[in-house]
Chains A and B, each alone.
Chain A
Amino acid sequence: MTLKQYQKFRMILTIIIAMIFSQAIINQNFFLSISIIILALLLHLFIRSRVEEILHDERDWAIGGKAALSAITAYSWMGLAVMLILKSQAILNPVYDIIANTIAFSVCILMLLYAFIYRIHHKGKIFSIYTIFTLIVLVAFVAMAIYGIINAVK
């Protein structure tokens, strides 16, 4: 299979999956939504293994790294702006406060996750004092976020 055929297949697969997944979620059929995601993942892996050409090279990885960092930065700033707006409007509707907290936590978790993965790549090993420390902070933050959001909803 050529690279172009693979890219075409991936695009078609994504459209089909998005359509089925969204309909399954609307109908609250969670079994179908999870099944379709797993099936798509397996199908994607199978098709990718059939591609004879090079899918990604060092230039793609370099661009991907830059794009990921820019996306994280953009999301963080947007999250901060939206959070501040929602917090200021929380008097009108208390739900805004929960949404603002969820966004704030998601920004923090994203940054911590980035720091954790960055440390792994930087040090070249999973278990170093820095990665373990970042992982502990990350897990603690996720736990705090879940606990805080559940309590707020109650």
Chain B
Amino acid sequence: MKNIIKEERQKKKITQEELAKIAGVRRETIVFLEQGKYNPSLSLAYKIAKALDSTIENLFIFEE
């Protein structure tokens, strides 16, 4: 699943480490998320969206 987490994070000037701390995950998870190599759970997607003042629909692009 594609996402725009990296772009939104850079806009907010938040580091991966900081985002990981807010979302309660390890930095590696944020790295894999940004690369589109990991699909997060609904609760993690919500936490990230909240941390970036965005919504899940805005951050994640679902492709069939």
Minimum CB–CB distance from B39 to chain A (whole Å) comes to 9
Residues on A with beta carbons closer than 8 Å to the beta carbon of B44? 58
List A residues 1-16 near B (Cβ within 8 Å). 3
Q: On chain A, which size bracket covers the interface? A: under 10
Which of A3, A53, A56, A59 makes the CB contact (< 8 A) with B32? Answer: A59
The chain B residue sitting closest to A60, CB to CB, is B26
| Contact residue among B20, B25, B28 (Cβ-Cβ distance under 8 Å from A58) | B25
- Digitize B28-52: 1 where CB-to-A-CB distance is under 8 Å, 0 elsewhere: 1100100000101100100000000
Give the distance to chain A from B30, nearest Cβ to Cβ, in Å. 10
A60 / chain B contacts, CB cutoff of 8 Å: 26
**Which A residues are CB-close (under 8 A) to B40?**
58
The reply on A150 being an interface residue by CB < 8 A is: no
CB of B49, distance to nearest CB on chain A (Å)? 16
- Asked whether B24 lies within 8 Å of A54 as measured between CB atoms, the reply is yes
Closest to B17 in A: A53
**How far, in Å, is B38 (CB) from chain A's closest CB?**
6
The CB with the most chain B CB atoms within 10 A, among A53, A56, A58, A59, is that of: A59
Q: Which residue of A lies closest to B28 (CB)?
A: A59
* Nearest B residue (CB) for A58: B41
Say how far A61's CB is from chain B's closest CB, in angstroms: 10
Complex CA–CA separation, A94 to B32 (angstroms): 53
Q: Please give me the residue from chain B that is nearest to A59 by CB atom.
A: B29
List chain A positions with a Cβ less than 8 A from chain B: 3, 53-54, 56-60
B contact residues vs A (CB 8 Å cutoff):
20, 24-26, 28-29, 32, 38, 40-41, 44
What are 15 A-B pairs at a CB distance below 8 A?
A3-B26, A54-B20, A54-B25, A54-B26, A56-B26, A57-B24, A58-B29, A58-B40, A58-B41, A58-B44, A59-B25, A59-B26, A59-B28, A59-B38, A60-B26
